Amino acid sequence: MITAIREHTVILNGAIQLPEMDYPDGTEVEVIVLVGDEIDATDYLLSTEANRKYMEEALEELKHPEKFIQVDLNNL
Protein backbone atom coordinates (compact mmCIF):
# COMPACT_ATOMS: atom_id res chain seq x y z
CA MET A 1 0.00 0.00 0.00
CA ILE A 2 1.25 3.47 -0.85
CA THR A 3 0.55 6.35 1.50
CA ALA A 4 0.94 9.90 0.21
CA ILE A 5 1.88 12.70 2.57
CA ARG A 6 1.91 16.26 1.29
CA GLU A 7 3.98 18.83 3.16
CA HIS A 8 4.75 22.40 2.20
CA THR A 9 8.19 23.51 3.32
CA VAL A 10 11.11 25.74 2.38
CA ILE A 11 14.72 24.84 1.74
CA LEU A 12 17.02 26.08 4.50
CA ASN A 13 20.80 25.89 4.07
CA GLY A 14 20.31 23.57 1.11
CA ALA A 15 18.28 21.03 3.07
CA ILE A 16 14.63 20.07 2.96
CA GLN A 17 13.15 19.90 6.43
CA LEU A 18 10.11 17.76 7.15
CA PRO A 19 8.20 17.25 10.39
CA GLU A 20 8.74 14.09 12.40
CA MET A 21 6.73 11.18 11.07
CA ASP A 22 5.39 8.17 12.91
CA TYR A 23 7.31 5.53 10.92
CA PRO A 24 10.05 3.26 12.24
CA ASP A 25 13.69 4.04 11.51
CA GLY A 26 14.80 2.40 8.28
CA THR A 27 11.43 2.82 6.52
CA GLU A 28 12.19 3.50 2.86
CA VAL A 29 10.45 6.51 1.33
CA GLU A 30 10.46 8.23 -2.03
CA VAL A 31 10.59 12.02 -2.07
CA ILE A 32 9.42 14.11 -5.02
CA VAL A 33 10.34 17.80 -4.92
CA LEU A 34 8.23 20.23 -6.95
CA VAL A 35 9.73 23.68 -7.38
CA GLY A 36 8.00 26.50 -9.16
CA ASP A 37 5.34 29.14 -9.08
CA GLU A 38 2.31 27.33 -7.78
CA ILE A 39 -0.94 29.13 -8.33
CA ASP A 40 -3.80 28.52 -5.93
CA ALA A 41 -6.79 26.91 -7.64
CA THR A 42 -9.10 29.67 -6.39
CA ASP A 43 -6.76 32.38 -7.66
CA TYR A 44 -6.61 30.64 -11.03
CA LEU A 45 -10.38 30.28 -11.28
CA LEU A 46 -10.84 33.96 -10.47
CA SER A 47 -7.94 35.14 -12.66
CA THR A 48 -10.08 36.45 -15.53
CA GLU A 49 -13.27 38.47 -15.61
CA ALA A 50 -15.08 35.72 -17.54
CA ASN A 51 -14.09 33.08 -14.97
CA ARG A 52 -15.06 35.37 -12.08
CA LYS A 53 -18.48 35.99 -13.60
CA TYR A 54 -19.01 32.26 -14.24
CA MET A 55 -18.02 31.37 -10.67
CA GLU A 56 -20.27 34.07 -9.17
CA GLU A 57 -23.21 32.79 -11.24
CA ALA A 58 -22.50 29.20 -10.19
CA LEU A 59 -22.35 30.20 -6.52
CA GLU A 60 -25.64 32.06 -6.88
CA GLU A 61 -27.25 28.95 -8.42
CA LEU A 62 -26.27 26.94 -5.34
CA LYS A 63 -28.69 29.09 -3.34
CA HIS A 64 -31.61 27.56 -5.30
CA PRO A 65 -31.63 23.79 -4.71
CA GLU A 66 -35.11 23.56 -6.21
CA LYS A 67 -33.41 24.00 -9.61
CA PHE A 68 -31.00 21.09 -9.06
CA ILE A 69 -31.34 18.10 -11.35
CA GLN A 70 -31.38 14.84 -9.42
CA VAL A 71 -29.75 11.82 -11.05
CA ASP A 72 -30.08 8.27 -9.81
CA LEU A 73 -26.72 6.65 -10.65
CA ASN A 74 -28.33 3.22 -10.57
CA ASN A 75 -30.36 4.19 -13.65
CA LEU A 76 -27.37 5.14 -15.78
**CA 18, 13, 10, 3: dihedral to nearest 10 degrees?**
-30
Which residues lie closer than 8 Å to 1 by C-beta, 6 or more apart? none
Residue 18 placed within a domain = no
Q: Is the pLDDT of residue 69 over 80?
A: yes
Domain that holds residue 51: 37-67
Residue 46 placed within a domain = yes
Q: Is the pLDDT of residue 48 over 80?
A: yes
Residue 47 placed within a domain = yes
pLDDT of residue 10: 85
Count the domains in the chain.
Answer: 1
Helix (H) or strand (E) holding 15: strand 15-16
Q: Can you say whether the dihedral through the CA atoms of 51, 53, 55, 58 is positive or negative?
A: negative
Q: Is the pLDDT of residue 63 over 90?
A: yes
pLDDT class of 17 with cuts at 50, 70, 90: confident
Longest Cα–Cα distance of the chain, Å, equals 58
Residue 63 placed within a domain = yes
Residue 57 placed within a domain = yes
Residue 44 placed within a domain = yes
